[in-house]
Chain A
């Protein structure tokens, strides 16, 4: 089944639920959620964007997801890029390694300030992986 995401109601911020068959797909879907918020991208001729390495250590899977999202948020804002391509994503309970590729954003629109720990969930449910993340917007 394809990975997916759904916005949930929250008065002040933006809450999103993610589902995927594997933990790796869940993290990749989370990255795409952040990327989609950045704004329209420039589709440059293939091969000119470089893959960037990401390595993160955290104390548990929940913190790893928040750190992964905040890493991508920070890189996106600084370089005005939408990191919608992920490869070689390897996860343990406390470590993430991946390569990400960002496309230049034509009009930067992301309202996301940060991913938070509030109400954070990363768990298996009904044979699939589920995460709930609240972003400050």
Chain B
């Protein structure tokens, strides 16, 4: 894709017109400034966004968020909506890690009261299994696993006592996507996920201990219970092997049915089926089950965080660690936008509904949905609040992170894990990671500038900045 193939249609909006390629069914727009846009042009990210615009039933525009980068099939940081009931559902436009997402916990602790945060970081790393594979703390029976799949985190909170009812109101979709059916999840997926509940996984997953180091919107920060100097914990993980297998199973199934539905695609990884078809309905039911598993996974990890904090700080009760919110960033949801019922695919993109939206809990209805943009270890993360304008501009979506700019191989060529660990510790950041290699792959310089990304999100009218969180403890997956 060349810069001249794109038209600037707003201060931070660039469009690839539908006329660019004959198979496009909608224009493709990206939210970026010139620098972020230039970073998107090499590689396949823009082509993948254009490919997303060829999905049958796609409506209005497909969107790239400011952190968009090259993925497989659909770009990471891409959003596309298809008309219901007959537009398609595409598992590859959601990703293998179904409902990968972020949960923010606010503690009553102040950073200045923690003279040495090492024991906190150390105990968290001991309590939360990290790395690929790994057995979690819960040994679920098959019946319990199926209840997790169909009922999500409310099952863990109400029947297992693993959390507070308020966690559920502060979780997107209440931690349970309706229509989940465990029968539509393969035995292999259940076997892969069995034992992984309450585990972080590997790659870019993490649990970060942070302090609130800047407040930009006092009213919204107050509503979220955030104040300067406060200690927060950010959890980033998803549906583990269970979700990976659900995506694998249904991409394969739909790839085999493309001809039957008369669908031709520029990339087989976008394999899809009408949402109203048997394959489409089955995938939606299986994806919802995987999403429920992911919310339960983050619920379980949050429970362990609370246990550790209450054990180390006797004046703090587990319930004093409040959940600010939990957002999904790899998911498809049937939503209403402007009177139209659509299936919004968000891959590496977060929902960002504005104030007054009926899906917001009462305490956030005035401020909009919390949105989290995590940085990478040495850099800050941002808390934002969704804006009403996002519903016209991006199907109510914002970005999910800083976005990778360097490959893992390139990152490892620039720094070793041991060197990076020393650099971060020199900045006052305690690091726990199962492998030095995994640490180097996630080096802060392998990501775009999170400050710039957050600024563009705000200036583009997708979400507004509320607070900045600075890490002092990082537990990498």
Q: What is the interface of chain A, defined by CB distance below 8 A to chain B?
A: 7, 9-14, 59, 62-63, 66-67, 70, 74, 77-78, 80, 108-111, 113-114, 116-120, 134, 136-137
Q: Residues of B contacting A109 with CB < 8 Å? A: 131-132, 202, 434-435
Contacting residue for B96 out of A10, A63, A113, A117, CB 8 A? A113
A109 nearest in chain B by CB position:
B132
Contacting residue for B70 out of A11, A14, A74, CB 8 A? A11
Which of B70, B72, B76, B268 has the largest count of A CB atoms less than 10 A from its CB?
Answer: B72
> Any chain A CB within 8 A of the CB of B43?
yes
- Docked-complex contact A116 and B97, CB < 8 angstroms: no
Nearest 8 CB-CB pairs, A to B?
A: A108-B133, A118-B72, A117-B268, A118-B269, A113-B244, A116-B72, A117-B269, A113-B96
Q: How far is the CA of A120 from the CA of B73 in the complex (A)?
A: 11
> Any chain A CB within 8 A of the CB of B405?
yes
A-B contact count (CB 8 A): 99
- Docked-complex contact A7 and B255, CB < 8 angstroms: no
Q: What is the interface of chain B, defined by CB distance below 8 A to chain A?
A: 43, 69-73, 76, 92, 95-97, 131-134, 188, 191-192, 202-203, 241, 244-245, 247-248, 251-252, 255-256, 267-269, 271, 404-410, 434-435, 438
- Docked-complex contact B188 and A78, CB < 8 angstroms: yes
B42 nearest in chain A by CB position:
A11
- Docked-complex contact B244 and A117, CB < 8 angstroms: no
Task: For the complex formed, measure the closest distance between the CB of B205 and the CB atoms of chain A, giving whole angstroms.
Answer: 11
Q: How far is the CA of A116 from the CA of B252 in the complex (A)?
A: 10
- Docked-complex contact B404 and A117, CB < 8 angstroms: no
Apart from the given pairs A9-B410, A113-B244, A117-B271, 20 other A-B contacts in the complex at a CB distance below 8 Å: A11-B43, A11-B69, A11-B70, A12-B70, A12-B71, A12-B76, A59-B255, A63-B255, A63-B256, A70-B248, A74-B188, A74-B192, A77-B133, A111-B202, A116-B73, A116-B269, A117-B72, A118-B92, A120-B268, A134-B72
- Docked-complex contact A117 and B73, CB < 8 angstroms: yes
Task: For the complex formed, measure the closest distance between the CB of A50 and the CB atoms of chain B, giving whole angstroms.
Answer: 18
A10 nearest in chain B by CB position:
B407
Q: Residues of A contacting B405 with CB < 8 Å? A: 11
Which of B71, B406, B410 has the largest count of A CB atoms less than 10 A from its CB?
Answer: B71
Task: For the complex formed, measure the closest distance between the CB of A104 and the CB atoms of chain B, giving whole angstroms.
Answer: 12
Task: For the complex formed, measure the closest distance between the CB of B25 and the CB atoms of chain A, giving whole angstroms.
Answer: 20
Q: How far is the CA of A99 from the CA of B252 in the complex (A)?
A: 22
Q: Residues of A contacting B438 with CB < 8 Å? A: 111
User: Provided the pairs A12-B404, A59-B255 are in contact, do residues A110 and B133 lie with their beta carbons within 8 angstroms?
Assistant: yes
Task: For the complex formed, measure the closest distance between the CB of B265 and the CB atoms of chain A, giving whole angstroms.
Answer: 10
Task: For the complex formed, measure the closest distance between the CB of A17 and the CB atoms of chain B, giving whole angstroms.
Answer: 13
Q: How far is the CA of A7 from the CA of B131 in the complex (A)?
A: 22
Task: For the complex formed, measure the closest distance between the CB of B326 and the CB atoms of chain A, giving whole angstroms.
Answer: 22
- Docked-complex contact A114 and B96, CB < 8 angstroms: yes
